[in-house]
């Protein structure tokens, strides 16, 4: 529990929450009661009903989804969760010196242009610089699904956080487990790593480097996500849909009976053919050496693919929208 420094209300907090949002007045504050001003949100454009319709439409287009999903799916849980993210603009400039790999080519084959009889690789000193502006996005809660953590956030559409807007949809606004200072430190580290990756595309070994990394504008943004659960047949499936964009972050969905039966059937046939090839290769039937090692390999492969197909057909599917 915490006491709001601005409206005096008591509100719930959990272990590790260090930047709090009062659930009564919506003021973002530190545990010492200092107001945090750079607090933004992305507005909801898909209400619960629209999010569900978008999800069902999307799933219906997936391979093997049952045709009656729009009448057969019953939503049993829906919650709008507002996840906190720290966004930092980081200006980074890296000068580097290192060793790159290069090669000398000798004796081109006359018949094959571009092919050489001898190639000598050698190390060569290289230097250069990279200047980049990174937008670093860090989830403010540890307990967050990996797909929600990495889903695209349209930060350009940000506006100041409105408690009334979150309340309109009964949104659950999560506190952040990370302070502004911690977020900035981490953003600095991530920008440094990204610069390292850029340099390593140019040189294999970094001998020396000089980094100027400047963590600039940093703000907290709450992003609403519909956490949904629906029942189809006797099973339940989970899905996450972005409330601002209707983007399906991830969703489990059922496979239709015909699709499953087809997958299991094809898998079984491949398994049987594979087993047959293996038997021929090993000469189990005593027919003489019809197939050698190649039969063993292709038979084994077919059997494995068959098993995978059967497994895939039998399991429910997890799918994500492509960006
Ligand atoms: Zn308050």
Distance from Cα 40 to the centre of ligand 1, integer Å: 17
Distances (CA, A) of 47 to 171, 189, 259: 11, 37, 32
Compute the distance from residue 22 Cα to the ligand 1 centre, in Å.
5
Q: How far is the CA of 12 from the centre of ligand 1 (A)?
A: 11
d(CA 39, ligand 1 centre) in Å:
15
Using the mean position of ligand 1's atoms as its centre, give its distance from the Cα of residue 100 in Å.
58
Extract the runs of DSSP E, i.e. beta strands, from the chain: 2-3, 10-11, 19-21, 28-30, 39-41, 74-108, 116-139, 159-160, 172-173, 205-232, 235-242, 248-253, 317-319
- Say how many Å lie between the CA of residue 222 and the centre of ligand 1: 17
SS3 321: coil
Ligand 1 centroid to 141 CA: how many Å?
Answer: 21
Q: What distance in angstroms lies between residue 167's CA and the mean position of ligand 1's atoms?
A: 14
**C-alpha of residue 42 to centroid of ligand 1, in Å:** 21
CA of 85 to the centre of ligand 1 (A): 21
pLDDT of residue 323: 46
Domain residue extents for the chain: 38-95+130-253, 96-125, 257-317
Q: Give the distance (Å) from ligand 1 centre to CA of residue 316.
A: 44
Structure tokens at 291: 């197939």
pLDDT per residue rounded down to tens, the chain (323 residues): 899 999 999 999 999 999 999 999 999 999 999 999 999 999 999 999 999 999 999 988 887 788 888 888 899 999 999 999 999 999 999 999 999 988 888 888 888 777 888 888 889 999 999 999 999 999 999 989 999 999 999 999 999 999 999 999 999 999 999 999 999 999 999 999 999 999 999 999 999 999 999 999 999 999 999 999 999 988 899 999 999 999 999 888 887 766 777 777 778 888 888 888 887 777 776 666 666 667 778 888 888 888 887 777 776 666 666 54
Model pTM score? 0.77
Strand partners, 116: 108
In whole angstroms, what is the distance from residue 268 CA to residue 262 CA?
A: 10
154 CA from centroid of ligand 1 (Å): 28
What pLDDT score does 7 carry?
94
Identify any residues that bridge with 176 across adjacent strands, giving them in sequence order: 19
For ligand 1, an ion, list residues with CB under 5 A.
4, 6-7, 22, 24-25
**pLDDT value of residue 61:** 85
């Amino acid at each position: 529990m915490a006491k709001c420094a601005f409206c005096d209300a008591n509100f719930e907090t959990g272990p590790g929450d260090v930047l709090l949002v009062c659930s009564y007045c919506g003021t973002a504050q530190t545990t010492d009661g200092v107001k945090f001003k750079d607090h933004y949100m992305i507005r909801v454009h898909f209400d619960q009903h629209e999010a569900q319709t978008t999800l069902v439409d999307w799933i219906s287009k997936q391979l093997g989804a049952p045709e009656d999903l729009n009448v057969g799916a019953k939503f049993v849980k829906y919650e709008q969760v507002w996840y906190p993210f720290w966004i930092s603009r980081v200006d980074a400039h890296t000068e580097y010196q290192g060793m790159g790999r290069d090669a000398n080519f000798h004796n081109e084959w006359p018949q094959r242009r571009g092919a050489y009889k001898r190639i000598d690789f050698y190390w060569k000193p290289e230097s250069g610089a990279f200047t980049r502006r990174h937008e670093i996005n860090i989830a403010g809660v540890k307990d967050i699904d990996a797909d929600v953590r990495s889903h695209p956030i349209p930060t350009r559409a940000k506006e100041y956080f409105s408690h009334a807007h979150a309340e309109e949809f009964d949104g659950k606004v999560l506190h952040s487990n990370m302070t502004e200072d911690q977020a900035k430190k981490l953003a600095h580290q991530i920008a440094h790593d990204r610069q390292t990756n850029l340099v390593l595309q140019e040189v294999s070994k970094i001998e020396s480097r000089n980094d100027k990394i400047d963590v600039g504008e940093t703000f907290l943004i709450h992003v609403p996500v519909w956490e949904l659960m629906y029942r189809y047949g006797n099973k339940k499936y989970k899905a996450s849909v972005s409330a601002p964009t209707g983007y399906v972050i991830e969703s489990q969905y059922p496979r239709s009976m015909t699709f499953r039966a087809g997958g299991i059937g094809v898998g079984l046939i491949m398994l049987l053919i594979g087993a047959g090839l293996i038997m021929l290769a090993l000469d189990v039937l005593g027919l003489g050496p019809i197939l050698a090692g190649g039969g063993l390999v292709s038979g084994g492969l077919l059997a494995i693919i068959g098993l995978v197909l059967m497994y895939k057909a039998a399991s429910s599917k997890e799918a994500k929208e492509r960006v």
